[in-house]
Amino acid sequence: MQLTIEHLSKTYPNGLKALDDVSLQIPTGMYGLLGQNGAGKSTLMRTLATLQDADSGSVMLGDTDVLKEKDKVRKILGYLPQEFGVYPKVPASDMLDHLAILKGIINRKERKELVEALLQKVNLWEHRKKAVSSYSGGMKQRFGIAQALIGSPRLIIVDEPTAGLDPGERNRFYNLLSEIGENIIVILSTHIVEDVMELCSNMAIIHKGKVLYSGSPVVSVEAMRGKIWERSISKSELPEYSQKYQIISGKLVAGKPLIHVFSETQPESGFHPASPDLEDVFFAKIEGLA
């Protein structure tokens, strides 16, 4: 199954153009949607999740019209938003049971087996009697995946899933997402480049509502090879170098800025070739350099 998005646009009443002629083809597997906060990612995710309408364009999930057949889409959709509400005192098992009823699973025995299987899958079975509101950030996200898997979805949308998670929780979440994404479409919307590079075989970069790149993260990084140069400078030199060169990123190393510059040739003596990464691709695309 493939998700095909063609010429999707959305402008809010305040004049903000959140989506500007977005076209993407998203195959089975993990697909990364990379962009800064406010880039249009959440608007696209909510549109795909049938939570809001687009102004124009089309979205097809296989032979299902996502924009016109919303009830049909919801039966095969799993959605994990940035934040999801839960009843404060309801145990996780009861919460999943309730959500399964809402998904149309009426048979009590079937629901019981499903809830147990899902909680086992996300490693929360031992905590099934605890209220979800008492869970840690990582546990809540794993519960979110469990509820998104109700009904054997063909499309799962995950919006900024690892924000605020510690490294151990992120790794557990990565492993779970990778397993899920083997046989269905999983769209991972994030501003964290490591998430996309480690998890996704395909991706898109979106900025100010426009798609700047779609394709393989690995291919995009390789295309930057030989065009990224780095140099350690003093803090006082940073304004001068910012005026002279296309600095796409910088970080402090031992108290001194280490800058990355985009250039087809060596900018000047003292710069060394840098091994490009997805962060270089991201910033170069946003700055219109590549």
DSSP class of residue 162? T
Which pLDDT belongs to residue 141?
A: 83
Residue 67: pLDDT band by 50, 70, 90 thresholds? very high
Work out the mean pLDDT of the chain and round it to a whole number.
Answer: 90
Residue 251: pLDDT band by 50, 70, 90 thresholds? confident
Q: Which residues contact 71 (CB under 8 A, 6 or more apart)?
A: none
pTM above 0.85, yes or no: yes
Q: Note whether 173 and 161 are within 8 A (CB).
A: yes
Which pLDDT belongs to residue 72?
A: 92
Residue 13: pLDDT band by 50, 70, 90 thresholds? very high
Burial (CB count within 10 angstroms: exposed 0-12, middle 13-18, buried 19+), residue 186: buried
**Rounded mean pLDDT, 4-28:** 96
Structure tokens that stand for 196 in this block: 């996309």
Which pLDDT belongs to residue 137?
A: 81
Neighbouring CB atoms inside 10 A of 25's CB total: 13
Q: What is the pLDDT of residues 232-245, one digit of tens each?
A: 999 999 999 999 99
Burial (CB count within 10 angstroms: exposed 0-12, middle 13-18, buried 19+), residue 157: buried
Q: What is the pLDDT of residues 159-173, one digit of tens each?
A: 887 777 778 877 887
Which pLDDT belongs to residue 86?
A: 66
Which pLDDT belongs to residue 170?
A: 79
- State the Cα–Cα distance between residues 215 and 24, nearest whole angstrom: 10
Q: What is the pLDDT of residues 87-123, one digit of tens each?
A: 778 899 999 999 999 888 899 999 999 999 999 988 8
More confident residue, 266 or 167: 266
Share of the chain above pLDDT 90, in %: 63
Q: Note whether 205 and 175 are within 8 A (CB).
A: no
Share of the chain above pLDDT 70, in %: 98
List the one residue out of 87, 212, 228 whose CA is nearest residue 98.
87
- State the Cα–Cα distance between residues 288 and 281, nearest whole angstrom: 10
More confident residue, 170 or 135: 135
Unique residue bearing structure tokens 């426009």: 210
Side chain identity, residue 133: S
